Amino acid sequence: MPVHGRPSFTGVFHTSPDGYLFCEDLQVKTVQDEFAKASEYGSPFFMYSKRQIGDNVRSYVEALQRHDLPYILGYAVKANNNLTILRILRDLGCTAVLVSGNELKLAMLAGFSTDKLVFNGNGKTQWEIELAVTHDVMINADSLFDIDHISSVARQLGKKVKMLLRMNPDIDPEVHRYLATGSAVSKFGIPETDLDTALGKAGSDDNIDLVGLHCHIGSTITNIDVFRATVSAMLRYNNHVQGRGFRLKYLNVGGGLGINYRKYIQVCMCIPSGGELIDSIADKIKESGLCLILEPGRSIIASAGILVSKVIGIKRNETRSFLVIDGSMTEVMRPCLYGAYHHIQLIEPTSGTRRYSVVGPVCECGDYLAEDIELPIPHEGCGLAIRDAGAYCASMSSNYNMRVRTI
């Protein structure tokens, strides 16, 4: 097995023959040194590749166009809400998918056209609904009470709201239970038993234009068959809805495609690309005649970002060696929250190897980035990178312990 800190592949993030990590044409260590000169808060920081973002978006778009499918590619803002990244995605033809009123404000600031935005959420508040209805945003109704609340706001504003019903198809996405959003025990979506009641509410309300169905069954999904099963379930619902006299325009099948976080250590995981996901469902979507809405987040931005950190020091006890860095759970929460894996590598050359648990300075035993991994032996101040940190890292970061929030 290769050493954990020496990936043996090339790409947008690649290691030079002399042991330095590059992001596109920039040496990451040089950027780290420049930041250190400019500010006492120069480390840790997130670094992103515009080229990788474009490649990830094109994986979806090229497949959608190859199959000649009408589509809306809506980036899930919750994955990473960096304003510059949002503007890049807007220029690449994406729209945005939102889960809060403040995300809607940010999407408008980024210049997205509001009539293609999609607003999700199982607990939308009054002001958030008002903002969405005012700007003609499509809204996914998550429950019967959500339909009532949206209707009430639309009536007060004298507007007609474009609504999709978020269904819960009770499909197991085969992921961590915190990330499974389409199972019967999840807080999200309308169960099939409530579908006719929801249709009754929508059909009798002049302020509601029911334009589609929506579901999102989970995140970090690696089994492509799950997506095909989800589309089959949603098309069955669509047939029922059409039979009730509704003429829908959209089928929103959410996002949730995972990435191979372990590819650097040559673990064989055949995870589908965005294009392969589209290939697997295109025939069913085309047959339906509906416009496909997708909500990818992780698969667009995760591989495009790294957290650049540095070594504070090394300590040992009777059982293990701790590599203490200035990055922490306040920047990369996923290992602590989900037991998730992020590859860690040094960004500059060194020699020898040792096994370490990589931990941060936050006053929590859960503040670890990796446990018992093999790394080249670093010196104090040595730079390192936490890979695939583009999604659900900066957007979940915090000021806990009054640390400066890294965005």
If one counts every other C-beta atom within 10 angstroms of the C-beta of residue 153, the result is: 23
Same domain, 321 and 218: no
In 3D, which of 378, 382, 407, 383 has the Cα closest to residue 395?
A: 407
Using CA atoms, how far apart are residues 192 and 361, in angstroms rounded to an integer? 47
Work out the angle between the directed axes of helices 50-66 and 274-288 (0-180°, nearest 10): 30
Same domain, 244 and 367: no
Coil, strand, or helix at residue 119? strand
Using CA atoms, how far apart are residues 258 and 205, in angstroms rounded to an integer? 39
Using CA atoms, how far apart are residues 384 and 309, in angstroms rounded to an integer? 5
Indicate the number of domains in the chain.
2
Asked whether residue 7 is domain-assigned, the answer is no
Name, in order, each residue with C-beta under 8 angstroms of 345's C-beta and a sequence gap of 6 or more: 4, 5, 6, 7, 15, 21, 264, 375, 384, 385, 387
pLDDT for position 185: 73
Asked whether residue 357 is domain-assigned, the answer is yes
Q: Dihedral through CA 50, CA 217, CA 93, CA 60, nearest 10?
A: 70
pLDDT for position 42: 85
pLDDT for position 173: 52
Same domain, 264 and 365: no
Answer whether 48's CB lies under 8 Å from 68's CB.
no
Asked whether residue 261 is domain-assigned, the answer is yes
Same domain, 372 and 338: yes
Coil, strand, or helix at residue 207? coil
Residue ranges in the chain whose pLDDT is less than 70: 1-10, 170-184, 218-219, 266-269
Same domain, 206 and 284: yes
Asked whether residue 3 is domain-assigned, the answer is no
pLDDT for position 174: 58
Asked whether residue 317 is domain-assigned, the answer is yes
Coil, strand, or helix at residue 48? strand
Same domain, 331 and 224: no
Task: Report the CATH number at residue 280.
Answer: 3.20.20.10
Residue with tokens 């591989």: 303
Query: Is the four-CA dihedral 287, 288, 292, 298 of positive or negative sign?
Result: negative
CA angle (165 as vertex; 161, 168 as ends), nearest 5: 160
Asked whether residue 407 is domain-assigned, the answer is no
Same domain, 230 and 317: no
Asked whether residue 5 is domain-assigned, the answer is no
Using CA atoms, how far apart are residues 265 and 261, in angstroms rounded to an integer? 9
Which of 301, 323, 348 represents a domain boundary (last residue)? 301
The CA–CA distances, whole Å, from 330 to 165, 228, 368, 383 equal 35, 36, 10, 18
Same domain, 358 and 219: no
Domain containing 363: what range? Answer: 13-49+303-402
Same domain, 291 and 374: no
**Catalytic residue set:** 363
Task: Report the CATH number at residue 389.
Answer: 2.40.37.10
Which of 264, 282, 301 represents a domain boundary (last residue)? 301
| Burial profile 157-189: b = 16 or more Cβ within 10 angstroms, e = fewer | eeeebbbbbbbbbebebebeeebbbbbeebebb
Same domain, 28 and 144: no
Asked whether residue 4 is domain-assigned, the answer is no
Same domain, 372 and 224: no
Same domain, 322 and 195: no
Using CA atoms, how far apart are residues 371 and 276, in angstroms rounded to an integer? 33
Answer whether 256's CB lies under 8 Å from 216's CB.
yes
Which of 285, 301, 317 represents a domain boundary (last residue)? 301
